[in-house]
Structure 1
Amino acid sequence: MTITRRLFVVAHPESRHHVEGRVGGWYDSELTERGLRQADAIAAELRRRIPASTSAEVFSSDLRRTWSTAEAIAKSLGAVASALPGLREKSYGVAEGREQSWLDERFVFPPVPEAPFDHGLRLDHVEGIDGAETRREAGARVYAAMDSVLARPATEQVVVTHGFAHSFVVGRWLELPLEAMGRATFAATSGCITELNEDDVFGNRTLRSLAAVYHLGDL
């Protein structure tokens, strides 16, 4: 059985909003010095896993913390990174850039569905923060961006995104309907790599490894 396509999903490494305890979302923070070293480690790991004889495509959220990561990866792979704003993190509206405690004090948690598959309540839940996206709005945006990535006839692709958006990238790969993403989560950590495969026999799309961070070592 041959793998006809591999998609590597990268969650950006340590950013300034992480260490400063600030809300991320569309807040355009940069990678820390540690995050830059982690980006190089991610790039080296992807170079190890993607054959040098294969042309790889790199797509990224346009925010600085993801774009810096994507540039390091693209340089290592001899590729050119392409920015897709649709791969941005969920927007937290007026909370972005504020101290995390400010958001925590105002955040309204989504309900737990009482009936099976009643996920619309969570997808459309309003968190009490002006200007914040709902889960549905963020998910639809990421799904649309992934449609453009998956429409390309590439065999090796890299998508650089954010922790919340990571779930929707994986969900779109697995062809989960957006309605199923009210509760579905594929947890990510900073600097992780998720590998997704498609085979040439059944055309199955597989979640081969989720949120691996071994390549970061002690960084």
Structure 2
Amino acid sequence: MNAELLVLIGGLALLDTLSPSTLGVTVYLLLTDKWKLKQRLFIYLLTVAGFYFTVGVLLMLGLDYLFDTFSGIIQNRIVSWTVFIIGAILFIVSFYIPAKKNSELPAPKSRSILSMVALGITTSIIEVGTAFPYFAAIGIMTTSSLSWVEWSAILVGYNFIMVLPPLILFILYLMIGKKMQKPLEKIRLKIAEHSGSALSWIVCIVGIILIFNSLDYL
């Protein structure tokens, strides 16, 4: 494991923090529902991180098997051109993803702990299909000949970075209380207005990664 790999995957993890759902749920709880706030918020974030970690482990094991079976396939010119075209399509499509004006943020339907677990699983399932940086990071780790200890540690770190913005907001809320009301309202509005913009940036960057990774074999 080298520093360049960690920097690259760390950058992808930071990109994944743009996902609006986890931050949106956190802002909703801080603004509207203080009942057992700390417990319920941590349960929600642990559910999200645990879900993504489980998906990551399954993908690492599955992708590792596929790469061992079909080693060198990416060096095939047809495959490389296919990856290049997919990257180019993602790059172009990213400019046409509309911003979602006044979209509703996900919110818990009840106050129970189980409802927070259900919300965490639901939002994760909805967003895992667009978690392109996560998939790119897993692909990079798979081709880097990492041991299971190394890639497991990286997955833990990646998922911690993913939920770090909500944790920072919560810590600030505990420190300064009511002074966070207006900033939280602004964040809520920004998330609701620009969730499409965040997705467009993610799609654009993943498209660029695919293009550059395929150039050597065209």
TM-score (norm. length: structure 2): 0.28
More helix per residue: 2
The structure whose RCO (Cα within 8 Å, separation 6+) is larger is 2
Larger radius of gyration: 2
